[in-house]
Chains A and B, each alone.
Chain A
Amino acid sequence: MAFCGLFWAGQATADPLKVAFVYISPIGDAGWTYQHELGRKAIEREFGDKIETKYIENVAEGPDSERVIRKLASSGYDLIFGTSFGYMNPMLKVAKRFPKVVFEHATGYKTAKNMGNFSPRFYQGRYLSGVAAASKSKKNVIGYLAAFPIPEVIRGINAFTLGAQSINPKIKVKVVWTNSWFDPGKEAEAASSLIAQGADVVTHHTDSVAAVKTANDKGVYAIGYHSNMFKHGEKAQIGAVIHKWDKFYAKKIRQVLDGTWKSSSAWEGINEGMVDFVVTSNLDEKIASKIKDLRSDIVSGNFHPFTGPIHNQKGSKVIGAGEQLDDKDLLSMDYFVKGVEGKVGK
């Protein structure tokens, strides 16, 4: 009887679409998860009572995440976003058990009939930030602290270097691996070591604000990552490479609402509004307008950050003038371009 009652209640009212988000870390006030939370809030405003959202933060990758995702799927959520690489396999497992629920997974490479994935073209923002960084460097040395030598990170370093060298070919980018996504102590040490080695601009591909903060304390410039980290380095931050999720989330929700959703692999950049570079300091007018032009050229497709000639670290040619790297090359990138000092940790 009770079951029947519930069933009828469900049929009678127009059910809002139930959307859930699974976050890897606490939301905080800057960083990867924070950006996703901004996206969730934006779609809540946009869709109003047509959707109902929920988030679960601080979910560890592995068995924990499988339990959480399964719970969400079995308690009536229609669309579930998983925002960390390590949720891929757990999500896939749950997706097979719940064929009617739609799953979207960030930064992975596996899909299923009811599970799509999405990833940002960070390298576009990185290229622009490289241009800005090079314009502020007097010693021609820029420090880059990075977590792990995976293609996504290497791609960012290369794009940054190419951007920097486009306005100053003498720029060297020194890379230090922290071997951890998140260790503020080590990130601060690494940033200090780069500054001591002459870097007067520092950027990072790690999760904490420690690099920007350290740069601020030591009186050099910094490029933030994930979020605008201005309040952690008011003197230091030139700009930040950020990611935004509202447009992508809205698109997927619309597709699910009108029944047109299909599993896909989305790799979106500045054009689609998933990535951007925000300038937060006073740049030279010429540089500022160059960045603006480059940005609109990237959006219109007239410019690709990985346009030749590109040489690798040892100086041998990767592609010639005018050629471009395609997505397949980018996704498997495992070498540094000329001008990067450091090793791809192999």
Chain B
Amino acid sequence: MELFIVILYATIQACIPLLLAGLGELVCEKSGVLNLGIEGMMLMGAVTAFVVAVESDSLFLGFVMAIFAGTLMSACFAFLTLVLRANQVASGLALSIFGVGLSAFIGLEYVGKPLQGLENFFISYLSEIPLIGRVLFQHDIIVYLSFGLFFAVHRFLYHSRLGLVVRATGENHDAAHMMGYSVIKIRVLAVLFGGMMAGLAGAYLTLVYTPLWSENMTAGRGWIALALVVFAAWRPFRLLVGALLFGFVSITQLFLQSNQGFLSAVPTELFTSLPYLTTIVVLVVISVAQRRKNLSVPSNLGQVFEPR
């Protein structure tokens, strides 16, 4: 039982960077823009957060500047794809590669520097509930914020007028344009939101999860977040489930390895590859045209909007 609580607790922390980056990308893709640059934006957020926190001694400032750095990266992407109408896939990949290189360059002097990470914040009363309190209410403040953001995004997309407009833009940009909405403006804002969230996700890694900087520190989490959006079939709730599931699998396999149970016969590499396998399956399913509607893929995802 004790072990199970520890696993669940670790699962929640492991899912946070994926959830944050995934939510940002979800809103971005709902508006019809495919941004493959999450990894790059996360890395820029991560390095900025660390450098600022070390230099200013303020974790808060680190988070703020990380969000700013992520937004700045996504602004480059928005300018290229939405204003200059460049190809989204190519621009997104370029953004990722750019972020990997630039963050390594910026962080060169900071590799291995020590930093005191964010303390946990126990919610009084709630954290004393047996079991649930231990699993849910003894985290750092960013964990609570992430779940707050999850509900906010869900509410925004499905229970607000602006959210409806965002979704409409992704479904049919010509129709949204006819209705008098500025497709480009909406998409730019959605892309910027994606950048903010990716920046925050990166900051979580360097300021909370493992408070240190090293090159390529996200280790592919940006790509996993991207895969999770597909895995979730563009629905926030499934995204949360997917992020938790991925966190759970990646944590549990560490526990299984050194135990002699029946599951330890499964190679660890298989567990590590599970989310990617699922994503491939989902991609195959949605490529069957009829199913596209059921899975709620934004119809105009990745398409360049040219006002007529």
A interface residue numbers (CB < 8 A to B): 25-31, 34, 58, 174-177, 179-180, 182-190, 192-194, 196-197, 208-210, 213-214, 231-232, 341-343, 345
Contact = CB atoms under 8 A, between A and B. Distances in A.
A109 B222 CA distance: 36
Contact of B112 (A29, A185, A193): A29
Nearest to A144: B258
B306 interface: no
Contacts of B212: 184, 208-210, 213, 232
Nearest to A26: B111
Interface string B211-222: 110111101010
B262 to A, nearest CB: 13
B258 A175 contact: yes
B131 to A, nearest CB: 16
Interface of B: 3, 6-7, 10, 14, 104, 108, 111-114, 205, 209-212, 214-217, 219, 221, 250-251, 254-255, 257-260, 264, 267-269, 272
A167 to B, nearest CB: 22
Which are the 4 A-B pairs with shortest beta-carbon distances? A28-B111, A174-B258, A28-B112, A196-B6
Contacts of B211: 213
B104 A176 contact: no
Contact of A208 (B209, B214, B250): B214
A188 B210 contact: yes
Contact of B258 (A58, A182, A342, A345): A342
A37 to B, nearest CB: 12
Contacts of A26: 104, 108, 111, 215
Nearest to B254: A193
A185 B111 contact: no
Given A189-B14, A213-B212, 11 more contacts: A26-B108, A28-B112, A34-B112, A184-B214, A185-B205, A192-B10, A197-B258, A232-B212, A341-B259, A342-B258, A343-B257
Nearest to A196: B6
A222 to B, nearest CB: 14
Contacts of B214: 28, 182, 184, 208
A58 B205 contact: no
A145 to B, nearest CB: 9
B265 to A, nearest CB: 9
Given A184-B212, A185-B209, A185-B210, A179 B257 contact: no
Contacts of A174: 258
